[in-house]
Amino acid sequence: MELKPGFNKHGLSRTIPPDVKRQVRQRCGFGCIKCGCGIIQYEHVDPEFHEASVHDPASIVTLCPTCHANVTSKFWSKATIKKYAENPACLQTGVLKHEFDFFSDSYPSIRIGGVTHTNCSTPIEVFDRPVISIKPPETKGGPFRISGTFCDRFGAPTLKIVDNEWIAYSDSWDVEVSAGKIIIRNGPGDIVLKMVVDPPNSLSVERLKMRMGFVDIEATAEKLVINGNSFVGLLFDGCDVGLSIYSLRRPAFNEHWSPLARFIRAQACA
């Protein structure tokens, strides 16, 4: 019997349903079970796909493209992969990670909700602490280096970027990485961060629900809202700092304000 392309002998499609993928990601710590890379593919282990009649989350693992190639090219056995699945790398370290590509000729464009920043070294800061920042290349022809810290609405870290290396956390409810997007959820339908990159020129935050101290920051694809104040269609170009929220460098209107702000800053997410 001739098999239909994309289906096995049981009529099972290679397309894994989204809810099954999520269960697999959660069990595997959201990254490659072998090396902890945040870029993943899905591999049927036991049974293998050609023998599977259903997409069983317990029989599928997450592997990065390199580790996956070692399996499909027969350099690694499925038995070895099953051993790695017993103690996934990301659950051991608590993180998954990978790198952004910003080998650009000029400062990458940063868009957060309805606000775009070009040629700006610190697009947004809260209490003088950058939410996201850009440093020039260390050497000629090197990449611009983006760093940043993102939290959820309770101040718990969701994503950290250190000189283009992004780091997500395996204790999240869900971390989904694909097609240039990083989506972090705190629960079903509750997206606290959606980041989209277009290498090597831009990074966009299309969804954000975040709190630093008493500052609430929310973003959709078109709007940035900070403590209830909306920003739409703004462009900051050639600024050292784009948006500075509650800067401690400015004189306080009340003599008690600066110490209070410093205390709250200390409580903000690291």
Residues facing 63 on adjacent strands: 41
The pLDDT, as a whole number, for residue 13 is 87
Q: What's residue 46's pLDDT?
A: 86
Write down the pTM of the prediction: 0.88
Query: Mean pLDDT by 10-residue block, N- to C-terminus, for the chain (270 residues)?
Result: 74 90 97 98 88 89 97 94 96 97 94 95 94 95 96 95 98 96 97 97 97 94 94 94 84 50 49
Backbone φ, ψ for residue 242 (5° rounding): -80, -80
